Amino acid sequence: MEPEKGKLLISEPFIKDPAFGRSVILLVEKNEIGTVGFILNHKLKITVSDVLDNIHLKNNLYQGGPVAHDSLHFLYRGHNPVKHSVKIMQGLYWGGDFKDLLQKISDGEISEDSIRFYVGYSGWEPGQLEFEMDEKTWIVAPADIKTVFELSADKLWKQTMKSLGGDYALMANSPLDPQMN
């Protein structure tokens, strides 16, 4: 399976990179200038209200990746897209006009549990992700809205590995350090 928009990247079990260890990333863009995604399972202990004045959303923030920590992104599910958003798959969108998002929340068109906010993002220059794929750093898997919004962040890596079956299901139970086995 090729890494493309709307797919998951699952880190191999023994990756040493602290930013990506046991990560599950949703790819939201892949084109000639690079690839962008968000780490779905690095939940922070702060909320949107903690970082944005006059915004009263209790949603936890997630660490989207190691790039641009001064940027805020959001994914949301629904059927009435926010202006200027990017469709990832049927019913799942990335970004758009923030004022329109807040209005849709206020009007009840989008519920708070249908939004995830990310500080920073994960990004690859052209050819970089392909190199990492050749190095067996990532496993590509299908994505769905349930993976983004309904699975527990602290169990997501293990659950997605198990869902792939076979050797992946066995690797889901491996320790962080294989020498500790």
CATH of the domain at 106: 3.40.1740.10
- Predicted pLDDT at 177: 56
Tell me, yes or no, whether 2 lies in a domain. no
Which alpha helices (H) appear in the chain, and where do they start and end?
Answer: 48-51, 98-106, 128-134, 145-149, 156-164, 166-171
Tell me, yes or no, whether 1 lies in a domain. no
CA-based nearest residue to 160, from 142, 137, 177 = 142
- Predicted pLDDT at 176: 62
Non-local (6+) Cβ contacts of 141 within 8 A are 1, 7, 8, 10, 160, 163, 164
pLDDT confidence tier of residue 180, bands split at 50, 70 and 90: low
Find out whether 45 and 37 touch, Cβ atoms under 8 Å.
Answer: no
Structural domains of the chain, count: 1
Where do we find the tokens 């399972």?
41
Q: How far is CA 80 from the centre of its chain?
A: 21
- Cross-strand pairs, 26: 8, 38
Instruction: Give the tens place of pLDDT for each residue, 129-176.
Output: 999 999 999 999 999 999 999 888 889 988 998 888 887 777 777 666
Q: Which domain holds residue 138?
A: 7-180
Q: How far is CA 155 from the centre of its chain?
A: 14
- Predicted pLDDT at 55: 78
Above 70 in pLDDT, residue 38? yes
Instruction: Give the tens place of pLDDT for each residue, 80-137.
Output: 899 999 999 999 999 999 999 999 998 999 998 899 999 999 999 999 999 999 999 9
CA distance 169 to 181: 16
The verdict on pTM exceeding 0.75 is yes
The more confidently predicted of residues 112 and 27 is 27
- The beta strand positions in 12-114, using DSSP E, are 24-31, 34-39, 43-47, 60-63, 67-77, 86-89, 92-94
Where do we find the tokens 């970082």?
51
Above 90 in pLDDT, residue 58? no
